[in-house]
Amino acid sequence: MLVVMNQNVSESQINEVINYVKEKGFDTHLSKGILHTIIGVVGQGQLDPRNIELIEGVNEVIKITSPYKLVSRQFQTMDTIIEVNGVKTGGDNLSVIAGPCSIESLEQMDETASELSGIGIKILRGGAFKPRTSPYAFQGLGEKGLKIMKTVCDKYKLASTCEIMDASHIDMFLDYVDVFQVGARNMQNFTLLKELGKINRPIILKRGLCSTIEEWLMSAEYIMAGGNRNVILCERGIRTFEKMTRNTLDLSAIPIVKKISHLPVIVDPSHATGLRDKVEAMSMASVACGCDGLIIEVHNNPEAALCDGAQSLYPIQFEHLISKISQIAPIVNKKFL
């Protein structure tokens, strides 16, 4: 439930509510907006809203009927804006993350980062622990890859985003990675989500291969319930009967999620289509329908990529895509680059 406080509420009145519900065994999450202070009350058990309404400073108590609470717009009406390396995602900002699927070598990362930073990119992607269908496929360079990522990011003043597959890797990632990515296959790895709730780094939460929007939001709720509010949702296509593309990009998820949640939503057109020549069109469509950012695979030499080469853009193609996006962004009132 949500406890909406009066506009001129005092700290002691807020604390009185928090102490009251905590005594009953519930957790609280405070949201201080421009107009209202809202206390989100989550947990299991019996709590009579009438008793809370009697506490001084309380305006009203609202029951949230949806299973997701902290991610909902009822809890926080204002858009969440997440800033990384001077780049904002959410609100009226559009961000672009780019880089190869996997970190393969220092040379590959250096060349790609050099191209991307020349185009104005400030957040570099690249996986060091890869969730591959086949155990015989390239699994990533592991910690050595994270070190390469850090070296290159330091050189070009970039922030990094890398996929984390295992909760036991969190401490290692904290040393090297600015934005943690939870991949589609791990969207419902609840142990991982709970641990990521305990840290403060931004988390890109990809939608599961076969997950509904509600399941996706519930996974975000896991992270937020732990106390980490820096969640960026990423639509990366879902599995359907269609075989012409790797996945089916669910563009309608963007306006749906933007309406019911305050969290930023970005799109990964690379994994959604699996086809390099479809990435630009789907990027434009995603921006047009209101996404807050894009994460795109770009490789200095896609033909030689150890993973996802067919969907990776050549830097020159990416530069063209950026110019297209720059034209669409202002039409949908988004600031870009």
Which helix (H) or strand (E) is 94 found in, with range? strand 93-99
Please state, in angstroms and rounded to a whole number, the distance separating the CA atoms of residues 103 and 169. 17
Rule CB under 6 A: say whether 67 interacts with ligand PEP.
no
Rule CB under 6 A: say whether 131 interacts with ligand PEP.
yes
Cα 210–Cα 214–Cα 220 angle in degrees, nearest 5: 95
CB under 5 to 8 A by kind: which of ligand PEP, Mn ion, none does 324 bind? Answer: none
Please state, in angstroms and rounded to a whole number, the distance separating the CA atoms of residues 30 and 10. 14
Beta-bridge partner residues of 274: none
Q: Which of 28, 76, 77 is nearest to 52 (CA)?
A: 28
**The one segment of 97-105, 135-143, 200-208, 253-261 that binds Mn ion by CB under 5 A:** 97-105
Secondary structure (3-state) at 230: coil
Residue matched to tokens 């699927």 = 101
Q: Which is nearer to ligand PEP, 101 or 233 (CB)?
A: 101
Please state, in angstroms and rounded to a whole number, the distance separating the CA atoms of residues 37 and 256. 25
Please state, in angstroms and rounded to a whole number, the distance separating the CA atoms of residues 300 and 323. 19
Rule CB under 5 A: say whether 104 interacts with Mn ion.
no
DSSP state of 168: G
CB under 5 to 8 A by kind: which of ligand PEP, Mn ion, none does 236 bind? Answer: ligand PEP
**Shortest distance, position 185 Cβ to ligand PEP, whole Å:** 6
CA distances from 160 to 96, 152, 202, 209 (A): 12, 9, 11, 24
**Shortest distance, position 140 Cβ to Mn ion, whole Å:** 11
CB under 5 to 8 A by kind: which of Mn ion, ligand PEP, none does 183 bind? Answer: ligand PEP
Q: Which is nearer to ligand PEP, 195 or 268 (CB)?
A: 268
Please state, in angstroms and rounded to a whole number, the distance separating the CA atoms of residues 279 and 99. 14
Q: Which is nearer to Mn ion, 185 or 194 (CB)?
A: 185
Q: Which is nearer to ligand PEP, 183 or 202 (CB)?
A: 183
Output phi, psi for 175, to 5 deg: -75, -25
Stretch 267-306 residues interacting with ligand PEP (CB under 6 A): 268, 271
Stretch 177-196 residues interacting with ligand PEP (CB under 6 A): 183-185
Rule CB under 6 A: say whether 210 interacts with ligand PEP.
no
Please state, in angstroms and rounded to a whole number, the distance separating the CA atoms of residues 194 and 87. 26
- Member of 84, 101, 158, 182 binding Mn ion (CB under 5 A): 101
261, amino acid identity:
S
- Member of 29, 236, 278, 299 binding ligand PEP (CB under 6 A): 236
- Member of 20, 308, 325, 329 binding Mn ion (CB under 5 A): 308
Q: Which is nearer to ligand PEP, 2 or 153 (CB)?
A: 153
Q: Which of 79, 84, 257 is nearest to 158 (CA)?
A: 84
Q: Determine the size of the site formed for ligand PEP (CB under 6 A).
A: 11
Rule CB under 5 A: say whether 97 interacts with Mn ion.
no
**Shortest distance, position 307 Cβ to Mn ion, whole Å:** 6
- Member of 122, 206, 299, 334 binding ligand PEP (CB under 6 A): 206
Strands 2-5 and 93-99, sheet pairing: unpaired
Rule CB under 6 A: say whether 127 interacts with ligand PEP.
yes
Rule CB under 6 A: say whether 101 interacts with ligand PEP.
yes
How many CA atoms does the CB half-sphere of 122 hold within 13 Å? 12
Please state, in angstroms and rounded to a whole number, the distance separating the CA atoms of residues 289 and 309. 27
Q: Which is nearer to ligand PEP, 40 or 127 (CB)?
A: 127
Interface contacts to Mn ion, rule CB under 5 A: 101, 308
Interface contacts to ligand PEP, rule CB under 6 A: 101, 127, 131, 163, 183-185, 206, 236, 268, 271
